[in-house]
Amino acid sequence: MAEGRLYNKHAVITGAGSGIGQAIAQRFASEGAIVDILDRDDASETLEAISNAGGQAHAAQADVSDLASVQSAVDAILEARGPIDILVNNAGIAHIGNVEQTQGDDLDRIYGVNVKGVYHCIHAIIGGMVKQGQGVILNMASIASTLGIQDRFAYSMSKGAVLTMTLSVARDYVDKGVRCNCICPARVHTPFVDGYLKQHYPGEEDVMFEKLSQYQPIGRMAKPAEIAGLATYLCSDEAGFVTGSAYDIDGGCTLLR
């Protein structure tokens, strides 16, 4: 494979078995990165796609909500392929409901993956980045980090935390060679969206899909490849002067603030 923007960089991407994470993993590999996927579920589809395109990728099953699971996977990756240059914290789960409809167990589940999962991966990897004097961390936040979105109490809480963790890490490590940024997408058309519509709106999928699309003023959802394009820039040397930033990629949603 020809040299690309991430040539010979070693990237760890969480939740890359499908959706946005899959698109990021494929794009990184196409740009020359050596990709390690951490996913609770099977990532064979992503691995096959990368391999067929001539890229390098490996996968390990890990539960990001469990620090021991993350640390074990990271230790194995370091032993097999050496220092990690890029960490993309993409793994996340959703919850629908306002504060009255959100139970304590719902909050704990969202917090465990979307907040502690980000913490666990940064905690396990950033020390090695400091030791080598360079590294990039990219967190997947959301427009829900800064906008009030109806019936997304727990999810918004978690993505607000991702945004502020990004700022904290960027500030603490700006003089240690480690950059940290986050991406704040609006709705992205992934298999999760299709599955949600099929489950909750059987027979009305097309109508609801259009309604969800029109939420973005631009009139459609984002494509996973568009998120991957921004992620590639932020993790490349081209963004060497960028840290502590939250990038909206939202089809105009923040215009309505």
Structure tokens at 88: 């993309």
Q: Looking at the predicted structure, is the pLDDT value of residue 257 above 80?
A: no
Which part of the chain is CATH 3.40.50.720? 10-186+223-250
Give residue 6's pLDDT.
98
0.75 exceeded by pTM:
yes
Contacts of 114 (CB under 8 A, 6+ apart): 92, 93, 155, 158, 159, 161, 162
Q: What is the mean pLDDT of residues 153-170?
A: 98
* pLDDT average, residue stretch 94-112: 96
pLDDT of residue 169: 98
Residue type at position 167 = L
What's the pLDDT score for residue 2? 60
The residue annotated as part of the active site, out of 155, 215, 233, 247, is 155
Residue 201 known to be catalytic: no
| Type of residue at 189 | H
Percent of the chain with pLDDT over 70: 99
Whole-angstrom Cα distance, residue 78 to residue 70? 12
The whole-angstrom separation of Cα 209 and Cα 235 is 32
C-alpha angle with apex 160: 154 to 165, nearest 5 degrees?
Answer: 125
For residue 256, pLDDT over 80 is answered with no
Contact 232, 6 (CB under 8 A): yes
Q: What is the mean pLDDT of residues 100-119?
A: 97
The hierarchical CATH code for the domain 10-186+223-250 is 3.40.50.720
Q: pLDDT tens digit string along 182-233?
A: 999 999 999 889 988 998 899 999 999 999 999 999 999 999 999 999 999 9
The pLDDT-based confidence of 1 (bands split at 50, 70, 90) is low
Q: What is the mean pLDDT of the chain?
A: 96
Tell me what pLDDT residue 196 has: 85
Distances in Å between the Cα of 40 and the Cα atoms of 19, 56, 93, 131, 249 are 14, 20, 12, 28, 27
